[in-house]
Structure 1
Amino acid sequence: MPRFGLGVWKTDNRTSRDSVAAAIKNGYLAIDTARQYGNEQGTGAGIKLGLEQAGLKRSDLFVTTKLYNGEQGDYDQVSKAFENQLKDLGLDYVDLYLMHWPVDKTYIESYHAMEKLYREGKVRAIGVSNFDNDRMEKLLEEAEIIPTVNQMEFNPTNQEHEILAFDQSHDIEMTAWSPLGGGESLTNPVIDALAKKYDRSAAQIILRWEWQRDIITVVKSTHEKRIIQNSQIFDFSLSDEDVQKINELDQGRRGLWYDDFQWHNPNGKVANGIDQWPDTRK
């Protein structure tokens, strides 16, 4: 799995198509989407276009998508959901299939269904997303295949030390979503000072820090210039001292909001519907 790729959360199908194509054309070899994002059709169109423009084959690209919470369940339900996702993506297989959230009533059963998809060769690897240590431990007790990755929010102000340590102890890689941490990280004085020191953008400093921390990143951008700029992190290194400066920005917050998440708490405030975007095929 490439350790650096493009994510397409909160982009419509047309924008997703254009950003994915631009990313592949400019050297990105990993694309991350999800059923919940509502843009698998656009992502698939971008993959086709980008591969054509770059002169690459499908096997050159690593594609990740995710099982939606509302489609978790037994094998028949998960398999049907997955086949619909393949159709929308226009692909014969995906390289990595993640469980988007650990819905308490179904995540064990759903993971077993994902294991069967893996054995059938429909997915090349399986993993999870947004799993805290309690849920991951329960999953590992039941799983026959150890998840390859756990995709979590990870950025300078939210470093999830306990989850990272637990996952690493079980040979589970962490993939960062929201790797730039929004304005809180991008405008941090420490990051700003390092950007000036290395003559780089704040985003490049953060992404290089995550690279040196051995965190897989999927970074979102919808502008080709920024897509290119974000990937230009391999011709410089942060000193150990500067890596530690960013390490010390962690605020110790728990990044997950299980108590407010409706899939866990019927009275929760955080919904999780599928974003519906225009269909690029029309």
Structure 2
Amino acid sequence: MKKKKGLIILLAVFIVLLLVYFALQSFNKKQEEKETEKEASEKIYVTDIEEVSSIRYNVGQGDFAFEKDGDTWYYSTDKEFPLMQSYPEQMASTFGNLEALRKLENGDSLEDYGLDEPVYTVELTDSDGNTTAVYFGNETQDAYYVTVNDTEDVYTVNSSVLADLEYTLDDMAQFDDYPNIGSGNLKKETITQGEETTVYDAENEDDAENIAAVAGGLGAVSLDTAADYSAEDADLPQYGLDEASRITVEAVYTQDGEEELLTLYIGKKDGDGNRYVMIQDSRIVYLITDEICNNILNIEE
């Protein structure tokens, strides 16, 4: 009987401790929420744009402009440019609600902050066609002085916000995926140039050295430099990539136990140690070194 009574007491103590634990958890959560709300209410924003539909800027890399149509962002100069969406999305997020470090009260004239002749200008247009211009003036420690439109209100913002704009077109391009190919998974390569066709087959023992050579070339390809982001059929002859001029390389390889086919077109030399190359069904013309192309084609220099 005493043992049973002791168990009941222990159970009661456990329940009380459990209730205290959950009460403390709830209290701490509410305190964290209050602190978060307080911090949010104390933040200062230079801009407050609900939906950014276009962005224009020049921060030393040249003039860039992006616009949004529906849910898709485009490079304004060339809508066929294969733009990676994460870049303009991040720009819109950062500059649509640009957070300030502080707002200057009773500040000096715009000239004193370099805002009479801004170093950089970022123009944002919202979905209603309203344009907001953010001007960047002098840099001070790790911040820039900025103002918006003609308000003459001066803020400081972290200089790191400009990092979202410091990309080249190559950085922002969504290049084609390229498979991992090596002598271990290359099954066959077929090279066609005009009426001439050459085949290297991994199942042919006599082709072992050839397969190793062309696999080394195929495995060294890196699609990271473009000569043309959206080549039309009429543009292909200048690259030697029209159907009558190009060399067609078909590589059969295995991936995850399945046979796959890569079709690569090799064109003219560019005069700087590279050749123009395209992947089948892509409109991007890439530059790949002569050395790699020679390996793919099994040509000795």
Q: What range describes the TM-score normalised by the shorter chain of this pair?
A: under 0.3
When you count helix as a share of all residues, which structure comes out higher? 1
Query: Structure 2-normalised TM-score?
Result: 0.18
When you count strand as a share of all residues, which structure comes out higher? 2
Larger Cα Rg: Structure 1 or Structure 2? Answer: 2
Query: Structure 1-normalised TM-score?
Result: 0.19
Q: Answer 1 or 2: higher relative contact order, Cα 8 Å, separation at least 6.
A: 1
